[in-house]
Structure 1
Amino acid sequence: MTRHPTDHPQFYLTAPAPCPYLEGRQERKVFTHLVGSQAPALNDVLTQGGFRRSQNIAYRPACENCRACISVRIRVADFLWTKSFRRQWKQGEKIIGARLPAAPSAEQYDLFQSYLRARHDNGGMSDMSVLDYAMMVEDTHVETMVIEYRRKGPDSFITGTGEGPLLGVALSDQLSDGLSMVYSFFDPQHMDLGLGTLMILDHVHQAQRLGLPYVYLGYWVNGSSKMAYKARFRPQEQLTPDGWVEVEETP
């Protein structure tokens, strides 16, 4: 069995591959393994340093001639609830997110596939099997949760869970200083509910309730329309060579 050191992690560099966000560019990533008892602490440090988690791997871009990928996080204590966000939050009052262990289900996978077909049909995840999906969810050595979003039922205020079909799913890590949204997807037939925005607002709300200062959104990619939505959530900090800096306006 392969053993990976946890006190002194080793880092590796991937070969160049087509960039999934900016056409005509190549990407490279530096990565390490998140395994063993030190994985949660290492995940904390690396996330604060601009890494993202995928299963038991922490990675960040290491492209030679491009710095378009910028780590972003929401500062939740003074989150700016715009009129649009308030309307969205009120519209979502009939939806509840249930925090569950990091365990996959057939219902999640079906929704995941529907989401990919509608939103990312040619993406790198479009051919993921049910086993691939299961590994994405449960192959973790850190504190990870699945949040399932459904419509509220008459007993939801007691059970903390919703009823009816699954509307959205967020796979998220709880860190010492915040919540990190690893991946989220939703029912594309309910675009009117604004589920993508609602799930981020729910994470802001949950982080405030838990006394955690940040919600990590991953990378904002300068020039990618797929990532433009992240700029809406303020106040926002971006990771720069000088550390985390609040940005007033995204270019």
Structure 2
Amino acid sequence: MRSDHVRLFQTLPHACGYFAGRTAQNLVIDPAAPQLDRLYGAALDHGFRRAGGHLYFPHCPNCHACTPCRIDVANFKPDRSQRRCLKRNADLTVSERMAGYNSERHALYSRYLRTRHPGGGMDDAEASDFRRFLTAPWSPTLFLELHAGDRLLAVAVTDICATGISAVYTFYDPDEQERGLGTFAILQQVELARRRGIPWVYLGFWIANHPKMDYKRRFRPLQIRTADGWVDMPRH
């Protein structure tokens, strides 16, 4: 993906979502580009991530903490904690569904945001917010739904490209914390990639020593993208 083939825009500085008191900026691929669906796989390989209809990459002048990361599907084996998570959720039904809005998903999404991200500006997410953030007309998205009987417990928003699956966002029932539904959803995305012969599951960005990002280190082997390309994350 070369800059003379697609236009890149830089956002204005805005509040960083990970470090209080810091500002952040992103590079964004031209959202009006006519072939974003075809660019998406290459963008993932270059460390970009989707939010709504935008493909972005952190480009902060004074900070380089956000590091793209991906799971090596062929060599991944769940650790002891992840195996316990699989066993704990063996009663759930996992289904691949067409991405999009419905009232059940929206109700779960709203409950999740109110509980997990109070005061984050999305506490009263409307239907338009749901559609704008989680889906895009050009994006190859499906929803992995986790059900206990007839009850929807979680939705893993999952983008599928030929060479990589992107774990875009997962929201779940906040009353089911002990299940570890976020971890379980990633394990299901790895299995989906394995079934389809897709080599990578992209987990977005990893930040060293950040408590919100520590869970990603457990999905080994994990690769991170450096100035020299993708390398295995050191085991320390």
Give the shorter-chain TM-score range. Answer: over 0.9
Please tell me whether residue 240 in structure 1 is matched to residue 209 in structure 2.
Answer: no
Cα pair 2:101 2:127 within 8 Å, conserved: no
Distance 1:30 1:73 in 2: 20
How many angstroms does 1:49 deviate by? 0.3
For residues 58 and 66 of structure 2, what CA distance do their matches in structure 1 show?
Answer: 7
User: Which of 27, 32, 54 is the aligned partner of 1:30?
Assistant: 27
Q: CA deviation at 1:135?
A: 2.5
Aligned equivalents of 1:26, 1:122: Cα separation in 2: 19
Partner Cα separation in structure 1 for residue 121 and residue 64 of structure 2: 21
Q: Which residue among 172, 175, 191 is the counterpart of 1:189?
A: 175
Q: Distance in 1 between matches of 2:121 and 2:209?
A: 19
- Within 5 A, what are the aligned runs for 1:36-185? 38-151=35-148, 163-185=149-171
In the alignment, what sits opposite 1:4? none
- Give the C-alpha shift of residue 124 in structure 1: 4.3
Whether contact under 8 Å (2:193, 2:201) holds in the other structure is: yes
The answer to whether the Cα contact below 8 Å between 1:100 and 1:145 also exists between their aligned partners in 2 is yes
* 2:200 is aligned with 1:214: yes
Distance of 1:205 and 1:199 partners within structure 2: 10
Specify the code of the residue in structure 1 equivalent to 2:146: Y
> Take 2:198 and 2:128, find their aligned partners in 1: how far apart are those partners?
33
2:158/2:189 contact within 8 Å kept: no
- Give the Cα–Cα distance (whole angstroms) in 1 for the partners of residues 141 and 46 of structure 2: 19
Q: Is the 8 A contact 1:33 1:56 kept in 2?
A: no
Residues 188-215 of structure 1, C-alpha deviations (whole Å, 9 max, x = no match): 1011111111000111111111111111
Contact kept? 1:146, 1:172, Cα under 8 Å: yes
Structure 2, unmatched stretches of 5+, are: none
Report the TM-score, using the length of structure 2 for normalisation: 0.93
Deviation at 1:139, TM superposition (A): 2.3
Aligned CA RMSD, in angstroms, stands at 1.7
Measure the CA separation in 2 of the matches of 1:216 and 1:194: 19
- Report Cα offsets for 1:127-181 as digits up to 9, x if no partner: 4322111233342302111111102xxxxxxxxxxx3111000111101112101
Displacement of 1:36 in angstroms is 6.6
Give the AA of the match of 1:121. Answer: P
Q: Which moved more, 1:124-133 or 1:163-172?
A: 124-133
TM-score, length of structure 1 as denominator length: 0.87
Instruction: Tell whether the 8 Å contact from 1:35 to 1:56 is kept in structure 2 after alignment.
Output: no
**Percent identity over paired residues:** 37
Q: Partners of 2:137 and 2:121 in 1: how far apart? A: 21
Secondary structure of 2:94's partner? strand
1:2-21 paired onto structure 2 within 5 Å = 8-21=5-18
Counting only pairs closer than 5 Å after superposition, residues 199-210 of structure 1 correspond to structure 2 as 199-210=185-196
> How many Å separate the matches in 2 of 1:63 and 1:127?
29
> Structure 1 residues 10, 246: closer, same or farther in 2, change over 3 A?
same
Corresponding pairs, count: 233
